[in-house]
Each structure stands twice: as structure tokens, then as C-alpha cells.
Amino acid sequence: MATIRSHARVHRNADDVWKVVGDPTRIVQWFPGVTAVTVEDNIRTLTLAAGLPVFEEIVTLDNRMRRFQYRITGPLPVKYHLGTMDVIEDGEPGCLLLYSTEISPDPMAFVLDGVISEGIQNLARMLNDHTEDER
């Protein structure tokens, strides 16, 4: 089991940031290589740039804690996965975006570490620039 973590500071209040993070369909705005997304009940399906689908189960969507958790269920070769995004109030206005991942097998950590790190920076930039509504 490997664990990885990325973070970014956003100069916006936590409720504004949670509007984006807490909406599972908006991942297409900031996560690299995701070209389409659908959400049905607790199943999120991503389409990657190469046409590959990624199936995910939404585990937690906690508006009070501002926590989003999901699991990759296929077809990436994942034996165990839990992704957690936390939006933590930190200063006025300001918050910390924290993206933690537990994953097995270990090599998948390499694959996700870089793309999540890039994604979290994209997300922070979008929020800091107030461009999240420019679809």
C-alpha cells in the first residue's frame, strides 16, 4: 500500500472552494486528461483523453466536514484505492486543499502522484483567479 498527498493554498473562503470540490461533476474542469464525466447516484464515470473510462464509487460527500472521498473501481489495475479531498478553513479568507490517496499496487502511486499534483495546482489556480464559472 502506498500513500501520496498533494496540497495547495487557496485565497478563497472554504464555502466557495467546496462548491467546486464538492461537486463531483466539476472534476473535468481541473483534473488533467479527463475529457468527460457522468455521475449517477454514487457512481462517477470519467473518460480519459485516450478514451479509457475510469469507474469510481463516491464514498463520502460530507458538506459539513467539506470532505469528498471516492474509490477507483476499474478498469485501471487498482486493488485498493481511497482518494480523499478535504477543504480546510485556514485564515480569512483562505483555505487549504488537501488531496490524499491510499493505493495498491504501489506503481499506481507513481501514476497518480504527478497527475494529482498537477490537478490540485490547476484547481487552486482556477479558484484563485475566480475562473471556475468560465466553462
Binding footprint of other proteins on the chain (CB under 8 A): 2, 32-34, 48-50, 52, 76-77, 79, 105-111, 113-115, 117-118
Q: Are 97 and 124 in contact (CB under 8 A)?
A: yes
Q: Smaller CB distance to other proteins: residue 69 or 117? A: 117
Strands (E) across the chain are located at 2-10, 34-40, 43-48, 53-62, 67-74, 80-89, 95-104
Smallest gap from Cβ 61 to other proteins, in A, equals 24
Largest CA distance in the chain: 42
Q: Smaller CB distance to other proteins: residue 3 or 38? A: 3
Q: Smaller CB distance to other proteins: residue 31 or 68? A: 31
Smallest gap from Cβ 75 to other proteins, in A, equals 10
Q: Smaller CB distance to other proteins: residue 13 or 121? A: 121
Smallest gap from Cβ 123 to other proteins, in A, equals 15
DSSP element (H, E) containing 111: helix 107-128
Question: CA-based Rg of the chain, rounded to a whole angstrom?
Answer: 14
